[in-house]
């Protein structure tokens, strides 16, 4: 039986757009199909010109069509969607902001789209990673925990909420900015983690000089204008301290679980305690403490407690939450952060195993026991 156009469409159905994570057939990206004997030509409409994933799409289209019996060669060429087509695509994927506004009066936005993660029945676990002061390793922990959760097969998204001191794109090794489809941002991915950061919109050498309301708006856009597609986890790397951003986020993400990072010395632990008090004020619950830079092991095997000892355990006891991990000080962690290859990608190393275990504790031991349900309403 000769191959028909319908056969080609069926073969292309499992091929997904790598960024939109939907079938290219459903996304109406497959435009023309021409079968001539053992040769097939397929034309694909890219969402945006210069799509960075063009080569990848071309490869998967060719491979899918070549699985059809009797087909020897496949030609793939590209066109680009029109503005109207992009708008239709965005509305199909992301909904109409005007239609969804007001569905969640407490947390939605009057003019825009409601924040999906604010819904009580959202299937996404939101983890806010906080600390009382800067430089304790929050961003390093967030990045590596995200990578380790992804390695467990979870769908993981990461918001870099440190709008002044953004560091996630570099630490995660994301090299390209988000794709923009008709005002919808598609987050780039690295090591299985999709992320958004002010770093994509600001020059690394230029300070971000925004203040309260603009920051609030920017964070809201990180949550609403980005196509997140219901991840299992949304990790948020907070800026150090207990400022405006943390308060805005608490309002946006009322079901979030907060994790506090501290170093082992008593001073740091007292400062970290402030982050926990802030959590309480904004009605968020601290779910665990992570101690970082707990010890350093020299080449001769001697262990040094460079930053004191016991801070994590004391803070955990005070807050009546578990100390979920102690992360040693290892130079490879900093190197990995600087080169965009997080240590958690390799669970066979000692430090990789620490993050794999941290991810297991979060994913298994601290999994909420009750599914969250919308409040029952009797009408």
Ligand X SMILES: Nc1ncnc2c1ncn2[C@@H]1O[C@H](COP(=O)(O)OP(=O)(O)OP(=O)(O)O)[C@@H](O)[C@H]1O
Per CB under 6 A, residues contacting ligand X are: 131, 134-140, 162, 165, 167, 240, 292-293, 327, 329-330, 333-334, 337
Q: For 13, how many CA atoms within 13 A lie in the half-sphere containing its CB? A: 7
| Residue 292 interacts with which of Mg ion, ligand X, none, CB < 5 to 8 Å by class | ligand X
Say if CB 344 and CB 178 are below 8 A apart: no
| Residue 124 interacts with which of Mg ion, ligand X, none, CB < 5 to 8 Å by class | none
Give the Cβ contact number of residue 90 at 10 Å: 17
| Residue 134 interacts with which of Mg ion, ligand X, none, CB < 5 to 8 Å by class | ligand X
Q: By C-beta, is 108 or 239 nearer to ligand X?
A: 239
Q: By C-beta, is 116 or 132 nearer to ligand X?
A: 132
Query: 342: which 2 tokens?
Result: 């997080």
CA–CA dist 103, 99 (Å, integer): 8
| Residue 242 interacts with which of ligand X, Mg ion, none, CB < 5 to 8 Å by class | none
CB 337, min distance to Mg ion, A: 10
| Residue 194 interacts with which of ligand X, Mg ion, none, CB < 5 to 8 Å by class | none
| String marking each residue 160-199 x if it binds Mg ion according to CB under 5 A | --x-------------------------------------
CA–CA dist 198, 132 (Å, integer): 21
Strands 125-130 and 257-262: parallel
| Residue 136 interacts with which of Mg ion, ligand X, none, CB < 5 to 8 Å by class | ligand X
Say if CB 145 and CB 358 are below 8 A apart: yes
Q: By C-beta, is 64 or 149 nearer to ligand X?
A: 149
* Angle at 321 (CA atoms; ends 107, 372), nearest 5 degrees: 35
**C-alpha closest to that of 359 among 342, 371, 374, 372:** 342
Q: 244-252 and 266-281 are packed helices; what angle lies between their axes, rounded to 10 degrees?
A: 50
Q: By C-beta, is 25 or 353 nearer to ligand X?
A: 353
Q: By C-beta, is 113 or 138 nearer to Mg ion?
A: 138
CB 144, min distance to ligand X, A: 9
In eight-state DSSP terms, residue 71 is -
How remote is the C-alpha of 244 from its chain's centroid? 22
| Residue 140 interacts with which of ligand X, Mg ion, none, CB < 5 to 8 Å by class | ligand X
How much is the CA Rg of the chain, to the nearest whole Å?
Answer: 23
Query: Contacting Mg ion (CB under 5 A), which of 124, 139, 248, 326?
Result: 139
Q: Which residue, judged by CB position, is nearest to ligand X in the bound state?
A: 134
The residue with tokens 């023309």 is 32
| Residue 334 interacts with which of ligand X, Mg ion, none, CB < 5 to 8 Å by class | ligand X
| String marking each residue 99-138 x if it binds Mg ion according to CB under 5 A | ---------------------------------------x
CA–CA dist 264, 281 (Å, integer): 25
Say if CB 158 and CB 231 are below 8 A apart: no
Q: By C-beta, is 18 or 340 nearer to ligand X?
A: 340
Query: 243: which 2 tokens?
Result: 């400022």
Q: By C-beta, is 93 or 306 nearer to ligand X?
A: 306
CA–CA dist 31, 40 (Å, integer): 13
CA–CA dist 76, 296 (Å, integer): 54
Q: Phi first, then psi: what are they for 221, rounded to 5°?
A: -65, -35
CB 209, min distance to ligand X, A: 18
Q: By C-beta, is 248 or 292 nearer to ligand X?
A: 292
| Residue 333 interacts with which of ligand X, Mg ion, none, CB < 5 to 8 Å by class | ligand X
CB 220, min distance to Mg ion, A: 21
Q: By C-beta, is 231 or 239 nearer to Mg ion?
A: 239
Kindly list the residues in this chain that would bind Mg ion in the complex (CB under 5 A): 138-139, 162
């Amino acid at each position: 039986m000769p191959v028909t156009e319908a056969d080609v469409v069926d073969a292309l159905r499992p091929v997904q757009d790598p960024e939109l994570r939907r079938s290219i057939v459903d996304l109406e990206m497959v435009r023309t199909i021409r079968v001539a004997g053992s040769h097939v030509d397929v034309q694909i409409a890219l969402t945006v010109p210069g799509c960075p994933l063009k080569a990848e799409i071309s490869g998967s289209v060719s491979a899918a069509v070549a699985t059809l019996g009797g087909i020897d060669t496949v030609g793939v060429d590209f066109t680009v969607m029109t503005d109207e087509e992009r708008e239709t695509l965005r509305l199909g994927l992301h909904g109409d902001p005007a239609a969804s506004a007001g569905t969640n009066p407490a947390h939605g936005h009057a003019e825009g789209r409601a924040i999906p993660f604010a819904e009580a029945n959202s299937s996404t676990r939101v983890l806010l990673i906080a600390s009382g002061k800067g430089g304790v390793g929050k961003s390093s922990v967030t990045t590596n925990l995200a990578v380790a959760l992804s390695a467990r097969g979870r769908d993981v998204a990461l918001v870099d909420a440190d709008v002044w001191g953004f560091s996630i794109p570099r630490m995660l090794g994301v090299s390209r900015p988000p794709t923009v489809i008709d005002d919808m941002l598609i987050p780039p991915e690295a090591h299985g983690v999709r992320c958004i950061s002010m770093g994509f919109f600001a020059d690394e050498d230029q300070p971000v000089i925004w203040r309260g309301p603009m920051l609030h708006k920017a964070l809201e856009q990180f949550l609403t204008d980005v196509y997140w597609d219901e991840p299992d986890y949304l990790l948020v790397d907070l800026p150090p301290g207990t400022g405006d951003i943390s308060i805005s986020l608490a309002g946006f993400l009322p079901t979030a679980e907060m994790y506090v990072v501290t170093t082992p010395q008593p001073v740091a632990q007292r400062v970290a305690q402030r982050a926990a008090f802030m959590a309480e004020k904004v009605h968020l619950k601290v779910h665990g403490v992570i101690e970082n830079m707990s010890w350093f092991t020299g080449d001769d095997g001697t262990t040094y407690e460079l930053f004191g000892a016991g801070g994590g355990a004391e803070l955990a006891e005070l807050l009546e939450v578990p100390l979920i991990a102690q992360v040693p000080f290892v130079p490879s962690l900093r190197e990995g952060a600087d080169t965009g290859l997080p240590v958690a990608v390799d669970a066979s190393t000692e430090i990789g195993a620490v993050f794999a275990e941290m991810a297991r504790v979060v994913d298994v031991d601290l999994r909420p026991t009750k599914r969250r349900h919308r409040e029952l309403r009797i009408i």
